[in-house]
Amino acid sequence: MATIKSIGILTSGGDAPGMNAAIRAVTRAARYNGWGVKGIMRGYKGLITGESEEFHSNSVSNIIQRGGTILKTARCKEFMSAEGRKRAFETMQSEGIDALVVIGGDGTITGAKVFAEEFDIPIVAIPGTIDNDLSGTDTTIGYDTALNTIVEAVDKLRDTATSHERLFFVEVMGRHAGYLALNGAIAAGAEAAIIPECATGDDQLKTLIDNGFRKSKNSAIVLVAEDPATGGAMGLAERVKNEYPQYDARVTILGHIQRGGSPTAADRILASRLGVAAVEALKEGQRNVMVGIKNGELVYTPFCQALSKTKSVKQSNVELVKILSI
């Protein structure tokens, strides 16, 4: 294996609180080991165009508390083509970048996997997504902050729901994973969580109306994952209007507010640990792996496993919402 003298860092896909803490950790760990560091702007797009700058320890001062990513982020269609990836490799060579640390979700890791296989490049990924949907780590960077944002919003919405005796559907992010909706419902004391993992079973809305809202409550908060399998908050509210017209339903879609804000202490610590671990992985000769933390311990998961295995919500938490909603 060629000796690593300089690495590149990039963030790609959706931003997540804590990405800056990870950038800081990677930069300082690399500098601690005597490596050069290039901060690559706008994800894989910047890797193709050569939009990068040399990073030193002071380049990442005063960023650990900031949301978003100082490296910016973008989705790059050109990188999906063989020609685009060839240009990216040529840019790496001209910039003297020997290895990459990429921070992002499944799309970012998919791109890294293909790129590494084509050009035999050492790449380590750090899981950064509020969806918490990557196998190989208990928690992804940004998830805890997003969860706290959801709970704060639901706490405020409950005041109106109670005052007006309304049924509120609160749509949260998560794509195909129900982690934010399910654990947000537990933490905020919501009456139900409608998530894609349970979409193939009973009619979740009917169960809510029959067993909860109709029997004992004059107001309710329901968290809904944005996945089409759930019907979405707007679709569920329309069903209530048509099937249960006696109830006054309202919709709140939290949207991109969930991706913003200063990261929580948990996300800062997670990002710091994973950032240093990514550099250590490269030092050890690891390549094409995602760093993560499982049961408190650092682990390396090959890209193919991180992308292929489905990370399921805990069924015990689904039952917990039902028990606590009576």
Residues 232 and 281 in one domain: no
Higher pLDDT, 259 or 199: 259
Find the length of the chain.
326
118 shares its domain with 241:
no
Specify the pLDDT at position 176: 85
Question: Do residue 20 and residue 134 come from a single domain?
Answer: yes
Kindly state whether residue 324 falls inside one of the protein's structural domains: no
For residue 201, name the pLDDT band (cuts at 50, 70, 90). Answer: low
The pLDDT-based confidence of 112 (bands split at 50, 70, 90) is very high
Domain boundaries, position 267: 6-142+263-308
Q: Please tell me the predicted confidence (pLDDT) of residue 198.
A: 83
Given a cut of 70, is residue 69 above it in pLDDT?
A: yes
Yes or no: say if 109 and 306 are a contact pair by the CB < 8 Å rule.
yes
In a domain, 114, yes or no: yes
Tell me, yes or no, whether 277 and 135 share the same domain.
yes
pLDDT of residue 212: 57
pLDDT for 236 beyond 70: yes
Domain end marker among 227, 245, 260: 260
Contact 64, 264 (CB under 8 A): no
Q: Residue 205 pLDDT more than 90?
A: no
Which comes out higher in pLDDT, residue 205 or 55?
Answer: 55
Does residue 320 belong to any structural domain of this protein? no
Kindly state whether residue 201 falls inside one of the protein's structural domains: yes
Whether residue 214 is predicted with pLDDT greater than 60 in this model: the reply is no
Q: Could you tell me the CATH number of the domain that includes residue 238? A: 3.40.50.460
Q: Over the chain, what is the mean pLDDT? A: 92
Is 318 part of any domain? no
Q: Confidence band (pLDDT; 50, 70, 90) for 150? A: very high
CA-based radius of gyration for the chain: 22
pTM of the model as a whole: 0.94
Q: If DSSP codes are grouped into helix, strand and coil, which group holds residue 176?
A: coil
What value does the mean pLDDT take over residues 158-171?
89
Q: CA-CA distance, 35 to 118, in Å (whole number)?
A: 25
Please give the pLDDT value at position 207. 75
Residue 131 falls in the annotated catalytic set: yes
Report how many domains make up the chain: 2
Could you tell me which of 201, 173, 237, 222 has the C-alpha nearest to residue 325?
222
Query: For the residues of 18-59, what is the DSSP string, one character each?
Result: THHHHHHHHHHHHHHTT-EEEEETTHHHHHHHT-EEE--GGG
Whether pLDDT at 186 is above 90? yes
* Res. 213 pLDDT band, cuts 50 70 90: low
Contact between 217 and 191 under an 8 Å Cβ cutoff? The reply is: yes
Indicate whether 280 and 131 sit together in one domain: yes
Residue 154's pLDDT is 96
Q: Is the residue at 38 inside a domain?
A: yes
Residues 229 and 283 in one domain: no
- What mean pLDDT do residues 67-92 have? 95
Q: Which residue has the higher pLDDT, 217 or 139?
A: 139
Is residue 154 a part of any domain in this protein? yes
DSSP 91-131: HHHHHT--EEEEEESHHHHHHHHHHHHHHT--EEEEEB-TT
Asked if 157 and 240 sit in the same domain, the reply is yes
- The verdict on 36 and 87 lying in the same domain is yes
Among candidate residues 15, 131, 133, 227, the one labeled active-site is: 131
Residues 234 and 160 in one domain: yes
Does residue 123 lie in a domain region? Answer: yes
State percent of the chain over pLDDT 70: 96
